[in-house]
Amino acid sequence: MKLKRTLSYSDKKQIWRLLVSNTDKLIIETRDVKEKEVFFHSFFFDNGKEIFKNLQLDEKYWLGIESVKNDIIYFHKFAKPNMPEHKKIIAYDIFKNEVIWQNDDLTYLTFLDNKIYAFKKKFEGKNVYVLNHLTGEIIEELGDDFQKLNEIINLSQSEEDFSDYKYPEQIVDLNNFKHANLIEKETKFKNIHSNINYLEFEELLFFNYYLINKKNKLSNFFVAYNLSKNKRLLSETLDENLNSFSPDSFFCFKNYLIMIKNKNTVIVYKIV
């Protein structure tokens, strides 16, 4: 097995969030905290081809994503700046590259069977509505039947499938780790911090470690090995001069390795 790079993308702004749609599109959210602007970008995993980039809506900062379903991104705004409460639903078609509908009165709740469940606050409690996911048309009113609503939420959560994702784990005891010889070979004579994370993908071993540099800061290094060939496939500096650990700097989705470099670059490798 080997690694084939399919994407390296940066708009020089901080990566805020990565999402993968249920149709295997990569969505990247970046933010310019100083200028108060948020941007969205989307690419195909297989070839890194751009679907869109530098997308902005009318609200330039206080905006986020609820979910991405069937190539439609469901955005939300915030009730107030710096407050977590969501409001409004904005449906954006990835391939039409346009907003296909918007509801300013309802708040997104969940998605099930190609329907959106949303609510509107009352003086006490909330009313729940079922919407057509393509048009935003209200097709059913559930009122405040919270028993039925809880059943829907539980069913929706149970249908979420995360089996295609693999995340690194921390090596608790390197001496008893089965691939300790490879890691020791890589880190020998280096002033490293004990925090080492690893992920196995079939015959490949991915791991990162932190080197304490001359400034007494941390540098995050990533390494990929082919275990069957005892061969290093990749070595990459993911970040430098860190004050603390940088969690979630790499993970796997299906047969893709996704890495975040310097907090502003997304790199994707296809595992072939």
Predicted confidence at residue 17, as pLDDT, reads: 97
CA end-to-end span of the chain: 5
What number is the average pLDDT over the span 224-245? 94
pLDDT score for 10: 98
Strand partners, 42: 27, 52
Q: Is pLDDT at 248 greater than 90 in this prediction?
A: no
Structure tokens at 172: 């608790």
Residue 72: pLDDT band (50, 70, 90) is: very high
- In angstroms, rounded to a whole number, what is the distance separating the alpha carbons of residues 262 and 265? 6
Domain extent listing, the chain: 12-159, 168-247
Please state, rounded to an integer, the average pLDDT across all residues of the chain.
94
Mean pLDDT of 211-228: 93
pLDDT for residue 192: 85
pLDDT band at 251 (very low <50, low <70, confident <90, very high): very high
Residue 194 confidence (pLDDT): 73
pTM exceeds 0.75, yes or no: yes
- pLDDT at 1 exceeding the cut of 90: yes
What's the pLDDT score for residue 144? Answer: 86
DSSP for 117-133, please give it.
EEEEE-SSSEEEEEEET
Helix (H) / strand (E) containing 146: helix 146-158
pLDDT digits (tens, 9 = 90+) for 12-59: 999 999 999 989 999 999 999 999 999 999 999 999 999 999 999 999
Best CATH choice for the domain 12-159 from the list 3.30.830.10, 2.60.40.10, 2.40.128.630, 2.170.190.11: 2.40.128.630
Give residue-wise pLDDT tens across range 85-124.
999 999 999 999 999 999 999 999 999 999 999 999 887 7
User: Which of 9-13, 124-128, 143-147, 186-190 has the highest mean predicted lDDT (pLDDT)?
Assistant: 9-13
Q: Are 204 and 182 a contacting pair, CB within 8 Å?
A: no
269 exposed, middle or buried (CB, 10 Å; 0-12, 13-18, 19+)? buried
